[in-house]
Amino acid sequence: MVKEADTQAYLDQLGRRTGMVLGLDSICELMAELGNIQDGLNIVHVAGTNGKGSVCAFLSSILTEAGIRNGMYTSPAVFSRLEQYQVDGENITSQEFSEIIAQVRRACETMTERGKNQPTVFEVETAAAFLYFYRRQCQVVILETGMGGETDATNIITHPLLCVLTSISMDHMKFLGTSLEEIAEAKAGIIKENCRTVAVKPRQKQVQRVLEERCKEKHAALVYSDAHQAEDIKFGTENQNLSFRYGELGEVKLSMAGAYQVQNAVCAIEAAMALREAGYFICDENILTGLRKARWEGRFSVLHTEPLFVMDGAHNLDAAKKLRETLKRGFTNYKLIYIIGVLADKEHEEMLKIMVPLAWKVFTVTPSTSRAMDGEALAQEAEQYHSQVRYCPHMADAVSAAFESAQGEHAMILAFGSLSYLNELREILKEKYYDR
C-alpha cells in the first residue's frame, strides 16, 4: 500500500525539480506509456483567464443531476490535491490518489530510463486525471487547462466533445504573451477541428476576432454565452444567494455568491445545451437543480458569519473588477476589512487601485510561495490609496487583527489576492473562529 505522505513528498519534490515547462512533447511520451487512454474519454475542455473553475463546477453538478457520470479535473489545488479529481462531485480518496500517482510515476521512470525528460508535476497530475477517469468509466470528463491552452499539457486531447472558453484577460504574461491578442490565441489553441465551442462573449473586439478566426479555421461551430441576456438579477446579502431569469429556463437560483457568477452560470447553461445537442439527455430541471446545488470553494466563500468573513480567489485585474462589482452591488452597508496577499507576477498595483479605496482597513500578508510578493512592499503600494494599511508578518496576526477590528462594527472581512494562501487562512479560521 502506497502511503499518502510518500505521494505528497514525491509531487512536492517533483514540483521543485521540474518547475513549469510548456509544450506537449513530454505529456505525449507519458500518455503513450499509459496506453493513450485519454483518447477513450469524452472530454469537455475548458480554458480562459477567470471563471474556469466555477464553470466546471456548475457543469459537473448539472451532469450529476442528469445521471451522467462525470469526472472533473481542475487546477491549481486550493485546499487539497484530492479536490482536483472529482467524480460526480466527490473527491478522489487518498488511497486511490496514491495508487494512481504510483502508476504514473512508474511510467515516468520508464521514460527517463530511455533517456527521455522527466515530466513536470503538472504533466504527472494531468496524466493521473486521465487514468483515474478512465478507470472510473466516466461518461464525460470536464478538463480545465492549467495556465494556457495551446501548449498546456491538457491539450494533448485531439477530439474534444466540447470546447469552452471563459472570459479572457491579461494574465501570465511571462508565459502566454504581452498582448491580449497573444493571450487569446494561446487560450483558443484548445479549439479543434469540427468541435462544438461555447465562449463567454468577449468585451474586447480583438479577443472576439481571435476566437472567431480560430473557429473558422477549424470549422468549429461557435456559440457565445452572454450574461447580458440574464434578466432580473437579484443579489441577496443575507443568504448570499443569487437569482436571475434566463430565457425559457425561467428563474435560475445559485448558491454560489459573487455577481460574476451570473456570467459563469450562463456559460455553463450554454455548455449544457451544447451537450444536449450532442446527444446527452439533460433536461431543463437538471440544469436548474445542478446550478442551485453547485459549490466551488474559494470563490466568494463565506467562512464565518459573525462577523461576516469571505474569501475570494480574485488574483488578477479582471477578477478584481468583478469582485469590486459584487461589493458595490450587495455590500455597501458593510465596513470592509481586507486581508490581501498577492503573487509578484500579477497586476497587483492595478488591483489595489480599484479595490483599496472601498476598504475601511487593510491588512497585507506574504503568501507562502516562491512567487509571492512581500507583504510589506504590498502595504507600501496600498498606502498610495488608503491611510489605514498594516503589514502582518504572520497570517494568524492578520486574521486576529481583522476580527479585532470588526468587533462591535457592522463589518465584513474579505480575504483575496491569490489562491495560494487561502488554505492556510482557512486552517487558522478552523482552529480559532470557524462556524460554517
Cα 329 from Cα 332, distance rounded (Å): 7
Flag whether pLDDT at 370 surpasses 80.
no
Angle at 259 between CA 66 and CA 355, to 5 degrees: 145
Give the model confidence (pLDDT) of 18-56 as tens digits: 766 777 999 999 999 999 999 999 999 999 988 999 999
Of residues 345 and 81, more confidence is placed in 81
Give the distance, in angstroms, between the CA of residue 392 and the centroid of all CA atoms in the same chain.
Answer: 27
CATH code at 301-432: 3.90.190.20
Measured between alpha carbons, how far is residue 411 from residues 72, 257, 307, 352 in Å? Answer: 36, 18, 6, 20
pLDDT at 242: 87
pLDDT at 353: 94
pLDDT at 435: 54
Of residues 389 and 320, more confidence is placed in 389
239 pLDDT tier (thresholds 50, 70, 90): very low
Pick from 41-50, 86-95, 302-311: least confident: 302-311
> Which of the 8 DSSP states describes residue 86?
E
Residue 196, Cβ density class (10 Å: 0-12 exposed, 13-18 middle, ≥19 buried): buried
Residue with cell 491580449: 180
- Kindly report, as residue ranges, where domains of CATH 3.90.190.20 are found in the chain: 301-432
Residues of the chain with pLDDT > 70: what percent?
95
pLDDT at 371: 80
Burial profile 228-264: b = 16 or more Cβ within 10 angstroms, e = fewer: eebeeeebeeeebebbbebeeeeebebbbbbbbbbbb
Predicted TM-score (pTM) of the model is: 0.87
What phi and psi values does residue 224 have, to the nearest 5 degrees?
Answer: -90, 140
Neighbours of 306 (CB within 10 A): 8
Average pLDDT over residues 268-289: 98
pLDDT at 1: 65
Residue 139, Cβ density class (10 Å: 0-12 exposed, 13-18 middle, ≥19 buried): middle
Neighbours of 184 (CB within 10 A): 28
From 3.40.1190.10, 3.40.50.300, 3.40.50.2000, 3.40.50.12280, which CATH number describes the 4-293 domain? 3.40.1190.10
Cα 111 from Cα 32, distance rounded (Å): 10
What phi and psi values does residue 234 have, to the nearest 5 degrees?
Answer: -125, 130
β-bridge partners, 165? 47, 199
Flag whether pLDDT at 253 surpasses 50.
yes
Flag whether pLDDT at 407 surpasses 90.
yes
What phi and psi values does residue 361 have, to the nearest 5 degrees?
Answer: -140, 155
pLDDT at 238: 44
Residue 62, Cβ density class (10 Å: 0-12 exposed, 13-18 middle, ≥19 buried): buried
Q: Contact, 73 vs 345, CB < 8 A?
A: no
- Kindly report, as residue ranges, where domains of CATH 3.40.1190.10 are found in the chain: 4-293
Percent of the chain that is helix, strand, coil (3-state, to 5): 45, 20, 35
Q: Contact, 201 vs 226, CB < 8 A?
A: yes
- Quote the mean pLDDT of the chain: 91
* CA-based torsion, 261, 263, 265, 271: positive or negative: negative
Three-state SS letters, 384-416: CCCCCEEECCCHHHHHHHHHHHHCCCCEEEEEE
